């Protein structure tokens, strides 16, 4: 695949996830404690089922294109840039698997204030890591512009 196309797909998937993670962190997760205990288990189960296809495809595109950018980078984008991007994705995926998915699993059996608090707090790991990735891919796109504003 062409290095420019790899970077474009990586930037699109990264910025999609940046927007989504901020919405989830600031809006969606903040309202979990307002659902009501009698319906929370169903709400949490539905959340997990409905959010998966929305995040899975862009996350897979992002990690696949980030891996491709380790081998083929457009212009003078340094290898270090690609390595930092992959490290951030490792942080994101590890946090997702080790912290957020288990918390959602526990919440599927009913609202638990301590688990909810842990979910909101630990999700900042992903929010910050994706935001840094967004800045990194933005920088890469900026450096490739023929005439900078």
Pair 7, 69: CB distance under 8 Å: yes
pLDDT (0 to 100) of residue 146: 84
The per-residue pLDDT for range 83-137, each reduced to its tens digit, is: 999 999 999 999 999 999 999 999 999 999 999 999 999 999 999 999 999 999 9
DSSP string of 28-97, one letter each residue: IGGGGGGS-HHHHHHHHHHHHHHHHHHHHHHHHHHHHHHHHHHH--STT--HHHHHHHHHHHHHHHHHII
Tokens for 25, please give them.
Answer: 């962190």
Query: Whose CA is closest to 92, among 62, 70, 116?
Result: 62
Q: Is pLDDT at 12 greater than 70 in this prediction? A: yes
Tokens for 42, please give them.
Answer: 């169903």
* Higher pLDDT, residue 20 or 145: 20
pLDDT (0 to 100) of residue 23: 98
* Higher pLDDT, residue 27 or 75: 27
Query: Whose CA is closest to 25, among 138, 143, 122, 141?
Result: 122
pLDDT (0 to 100) of residue 149: 63
Q: Is pLDDT at 141 greater than 80 in this prediction? A: yes
Q: Is pLDDT at 28 greater than 90 in this prediction? A: yes
């Amino acid at each position: 695949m062409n290095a420019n196309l790899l970077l474009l797909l990586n930037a699109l998937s990264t910025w999609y996830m940046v927007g989504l993670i901020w919405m989830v962190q600031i809006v969606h997760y903040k309202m979990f404690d307002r659902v009501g205990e009698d319906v929370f288990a169903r709400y949490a189960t539905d959340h997990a089922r409905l959010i998966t296809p929305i995040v899975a495809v862009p996350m897979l595109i992002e990690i696949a294109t980030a891996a491709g950018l380790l081998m083929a980078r457009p212009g003078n984008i340094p290898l270090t840039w690609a390595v930092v991007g992959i490290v951030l994705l490792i942080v994101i995926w590890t946090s997702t698997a080790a912290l957020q998915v288990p918390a959602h699993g526990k919440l599927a059996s009913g609202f638990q204030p301590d688990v909810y608090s842990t979910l909101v707090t630990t999700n900042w790991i992903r929010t910050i890591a994706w935001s840094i990735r967004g800045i990194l891919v933005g920088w890469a796109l900026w450096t490739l512009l023929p005439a900078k504003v």
